[in-house]
């Protein structure tokens, strides 16, 4: 069963190979989310179960530490497998979504600092980008998510800087239809 978001991505794909890749990675991404949720629930449930077992073992004088290794180790293992799979499948799905995308060079209009931080507590940003090309009548307006990766990040000096991105539609207001594709002055394309 294909969800509405996947159906929209499929409608923008121009080749059967790209549509097949999107379907494949979308299914894998859904599976990775299920594994991630199962691992999270197992780990959360393992905490009170471990406490209960610890009390029971203490009262009865049972010395079986391997039970705790298996309980916490297996639940943590499933959680970590889910995290790793989700990271890979999300990246590959994004790559597949924009495989047939058009490459456009635009200019950064604004740098917006988001209120939420990344997992390392570093600030995250959105780059408001505007681009025009001979293929479209209206200017494209896009927003590119930018995780800083460190405590510094883009600032107002980035406004006016040229940026290359991929997009699937020429809809001038499809804000999220953009994937960073490098800087135009790079000699090597992304």
pLDDT digits 0-9 by tens, 66-82? 888 999 999 999 999 99
pTM: 0.73
- Supply angle C-alpha 86, 87, 92, rounded to 5: 95
Q: Coil, helix or strand for 111?
A: strand
Confidence of residue 149 (pLDDT cuts 50, 70, 90): low
CA distance 129 to 161: 10
Confidence of residue 89 (pLDDT cuts 50, 70, 90): very high
pLDDT value of residue 40:
94
Taking residues 82-111, what's their average pLDDT? 90
CA distance 52 to 62: 13
| DSSP summary character for residue 157 | G
pLDDT value of residue 190:
43
Tokens 């507590």 found at:
121
pLDDT value of residue 151:
57
């Amino acid at each position: 069963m294909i969800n509405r978001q996947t159906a929209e991505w499929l409608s923008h794909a121009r080749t059967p190979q790209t549509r097949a890749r999107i379907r494949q990675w979308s299914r894998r991404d859904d599976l990775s989310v299920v594994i991630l949720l199962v691992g999270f629930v197992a780990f959360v449930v393992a905490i009170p179960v471990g406490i209960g077992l610890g009390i029971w073992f203490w009262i009865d004088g049972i010395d079986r530490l391997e039970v705790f290794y298996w309980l916490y180790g297996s639940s943590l293992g499933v959680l970590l497998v889910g995290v790793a799979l989700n990271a890979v499948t999300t990246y590959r799905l994004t790559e597949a979504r924009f495989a047939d995308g058009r490459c456009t060079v635009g200019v950064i209009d604004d740098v917006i600092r988001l209120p939420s931080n990344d997992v390392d507590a570093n600030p995250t940003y959105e780059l408001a980008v505007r681009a025009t090309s001979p293929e479209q009548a209206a200017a494209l307006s896009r927003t590119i998510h930018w995780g800083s990766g460190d405590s510094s990040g883009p600032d107002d000096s980035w406004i006016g800087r040229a940026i290359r991105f991929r997009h699937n539609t020429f809809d001038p207001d499809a804000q999220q239809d953009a994937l960073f594709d490098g800087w135009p002055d790079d000699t090597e394309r992304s």
